[in-house]
Structures are given as C-alpha cells and as structure tokens.
Structure 1
Amino acid sequence: MSTIVPLLQADDTDPGEASIYERIRDDIIQGRLAANARLKVAELAERMGTSTNPVREALQQLRGEGFVVMMPNRGARVRPIDDTFVRDIFEIEVLIEPALTRWFVSLATKADLQALEEVQAEIEALNFADPQKHSQLDMTFHRLMYDRHYNRHAVDLWWRHREILSAISRQFQTSMSRQASILAEHRELIRCISRQDADGAARIIAQHVEGSGRHIIEHMRLNQRRD
C-alpha cells in the first residue's frame, strides 16, 4: 500500500515534532494568530526558532490551502477561519470522496474488508475515549479505501482537506449523536462494500463527510453566539 505524507516536512525539526507549517496552521486555527493579522516572515522565524526559508515554504502551502491570503505589496495575512471556510472544504470533499469510494468498491478484496472490519472493531472498542487515538484510527479506516487510488492528485487533496478539518475539529467535543452516526455510517459503508454496492457506498460516504462538516460548523456558530 502506498504511503501519503504531508507535502511539507520541516527539515530543521526532530522527528515527531510539529512542522513549521503545522505550527503556523494550528496558531491560525486556535486564534493565536488573529484573523487578518499580517504574517511577517522574519518575526515568525524568530518566534519558531528557525530560518526564514521554512516559514516562506509554510506560508505558500497555507496560501494554497486557504489559510493565508497574499496581496501585492501587502504581504501575507491570516484568512478568517469561519464556517464559510469549513463549508467550502467539506463541499469539495463531498465530491471527491464518493468518487474515491466507488473506485475502491470495484476492486475491494476479502482481505480489504477484513482490514476495514478490524479497524472498525478498534474504533468501536475505543468508543471515543481518546479523541487523538480515534482520529488516527479513523484516518487509517479511510486510507485503507483511498491509498491505492490511481489519481494521486485527488488523494493528496483529500489528505490535505482531512488534515485541515481534523485540526479544526480538535477544538470541539464530538456530540453523542455524531458519535453514533459515525459508527453507524462506517458499519453501513462496510456492508455496501461487501455487497459491491458502489452507489450505496458513495451515498453513505457523502452523508458521512457532510455530517462531519456540519458538526464542526454547528460548534463554530455556537461558540460565536457565546462570544
């Protein structure tokens, strides 16, 4: 199985440490870098204890993902992370993931199904007790379906969007109703794949993605009302 890695790796960090890209991204998501704040390369490099080149590379990647806006003669600024930002991402994912899933259904083997069942069993046994571990298992579940797809651009786009939504969702607790939906949708997805029902699998994965996106948006809007 092929392995997908984030597009940017920080060469001047130890293995296991967050990359410069991840640190700036998380500062934006958590509000430590305020919306519309100017991002000065030299200041960020000093703050993160690195040279300016990794910061420039990170800002370019963040620009490509919509976190950063760059304007002529005005430099880079933080894009507001709001419900519109999340909506745009998950609406794209609703288009990408069903296509990836349909392809997987066409070639899924008994070994693939067993692997999905094993990961799902781990997810259910964990029962959301450890959000970080759940996120890792959930990522493994979906990568089992997508990693072998021939369209690497589509898979890389899914990966980047998944990383962004995961980073944003870490701010919020998953509701009991959403937890139940996640488990049920995974189970139904496995059933559709076992029956080679590509249409059903595509429908379930679209529902799964949209449900996750709307859950994040609901939390964001609730926080806005509290503020």
Structure 2
Amino acid sequence: MADLREFKAAPPVGIDPIGASTESAALLYNVIREDIVSGRLEANERLVVGDLAKRHETSTTPVREVLQLLRGEGFVVFTRNRGARVRPIDQDFVRDIYEIGVLIEPVLTHWFVGMATEADIAELELVQRQIEDNNFADQIKHSDLDTQFHTLMYQRHYNRHAAELWWKHREVLRSVGRRFNFTLARRAQVIREHRELIAHIKAGEADEAAKLVARHVEGSGRHILEQMRSASAARAG
C-alpha cells in the first residue's frame, strides 16, 4: 500500500484549493477528507456535526463549513431530514471525476502549446528527468513530481475557474489512487506519454498534444478503476 504522507505539490498561483475561511477549518477539512478516503469514515456513515466537533475538539461552526466544502467536492452528500453522510468512494465516483479531467485537460494543454517558451519546455524536461530518476521508487515523490509537471502547463491559463477545477479533481484522484501501487505497464506508459507530450509541445503540435493528454488522463483513471476492481475481488474472495 502506498505511503500516506502529505503531498507537497502546490496548486497553481492564485488558486485556493480548499476555500476554507480559516486555517483551522482548512486543517479540519484535510483531516475529515483523509478519514473518508482512508475508510475510517465508512461509506454512507452519518456525519453528525456535534459528534465531529467533539471528536476533533472544535466548535460546530468549522465542522459545518467543512462538510459543505466536502459536499462541493462530492465526498459528502446531504439528504433532507437525514443530514450529511459519507459518499461511497466507489468506481462510479472515480469514473465521474476522471471523465471531467478528460474534458478539461486537453483544452488547457492546447492553450499551453500555443504560448510555451523555451524556458517552459526546459522546466518540463527537468521535472521529467526527476520523474525518471525516481522511477517510481518513492511513489509519493512521483505523485508530487507528476503534479508539478502538469501544473507547469496549466498554472498560467487565463481561465482560473478551469484551472481550479482541474486541481481539485486531480487531488481527489490522488487521494484515492495513493491506496494502490502502479503496475509496471502503467509506469512505462506514464514515462512514454510524458516524453511524447514534450515532443509535441516542442513541435508546436497543439492538437496532437491535446489528444495525448486526453489518453493520458483516461489511462490514469482506468488504472485506478482496475486497481479498485482487483481490491474488491480480493476482499470478496
């Protein structure tokens, strides 16, 4: 199982990945989201504001705020007369998230190819070398570097809402995906697609780069789904 250390990758400049009103609420958000992703808070479990406030030694105000933030990301659902509960982190949830990425990331990539400088490409190549030097030995480091790689392309896009949506959905997939190891086939595919993407950017081939990123994102999502299915089958067996 992957290491559960905190990821260090920073979001694009100007983007608040959480949107909490205070630092304490942001910290509480991270704790409760981790409890959901890790399974400590089980699927469909009721989230009682008073109980959560007592457990985390805080008032009910930040708990209510955090539940609304998690609702916005799909981790929590609200039902009339029943309050909040944990949304199952199931295959449908992962599919919905990565399919949105398949729509967003090609557009962001297409724009980047049209404005990329030699310095931008040099940064991408540097991060890619670090990814290959690490060679998935430290999966947390790989995840951090992989996020840096894509952030370099999207961080200056004029549509900040799209960039923020990309970041939040990517973080959801990272939270879910870190429970699983990369297969050897997926490792080779990631390296190969990154190299091909840099080549398209150098050549100014925006359409080809966008198509490649769509396949790349879909491949990542499908890999997580396959791992989830395998884990489910193992538990059932």
On whether the aligned pair clears a TM of 0.5, the verdict is: yes
- Output the CA distance in 1 between the equivalents of 2:58 and 2:144: 28
1:50 match: 58
Compute the displacement of 1:174 (Å): 0.8
Equivalences for residues 102-121 of structure 1 within 5 A: 102-121=110-129
Q: How many residues align?
A: 223
What secondary structure, in the 3-state scheme, does the structure 2 residue paired with 1:66 have? coil
Deviates more, 1:138-147 or 1:22-31: 22-31
Report the equivalent of 1:158: 166
> CA separation in 2, counterparts of 1:49 and 1:162?
30
- The percent of aligned pairs where both chains have the same amino acid is 58
Aligned-pair CA distance for 1:12: 2.6
* 1:72-111 equivalences in 2 (<5 Å): 72-111=80-119
Question: Greater RCO between the two (CA within 8 Å, min separation 6)?
Answer: 2
1:137-178 CA distance string (max 9 Å, x none): 111111100000011110000000010000001100111111
* Secondary structure, counterpart of 2:179 in structure 1: coil
Structure 1 residues 3, 137: CA separation in 2 closer, same or farther (over 3 Å shift)? Answer: farther
Q: 1:141 — aligned with what?
A: 149
Report what 1:184 is aligned to: 192
Separation (CA, whole Å) in 2 of partners of 1:123 and 1:50? 40
CA distance 1:5–1:137, shift in 2 (3 Å): farther
User: 1:41 & 1:81 partners in 2: Cα distance?
Assistant: 21
Match status 1:215 vs 2:223: yes
- Secondary structure of the 2:84 match is strand
State the AA in 2 paired with 1:20. Answer: L
- Show structure 1 runs of 4+ deviating over 3 A: none
Secondary structure at the residue paired with 1:12? helix
- Kindly provide the amino acid, as one letter, of the partner of residue 23 in structure 1: V
Is 1:11–2:17 an aligned residue pair? no
Residue identity in the other structure for 1:118: L
Shift of 1:2: 2.8
Instruction: Quote the offset at 1:3 in angstroms.
Output: 4.4
Letter in 1 for 2:88: P
TM-score (norm 1): 0.94
- Matched AA of 2:24: D
CA RMSD of aligned residues (A): 1.4
In structure 1, stretches of 5+ residues that fail to align are none
Query: TM-score normalised to the size of structure 2?
Result: 0.90
Alpha-carbon distance between aligned partners in 1 of 2:51 and 2:171, rounded to the nearest angstrom: 26
Distance in 1, Cα, partners of 2:15 & 2:193: 25
CA offsets, 1:52-78, max 9 Å, x none? 222211111111111111012210011
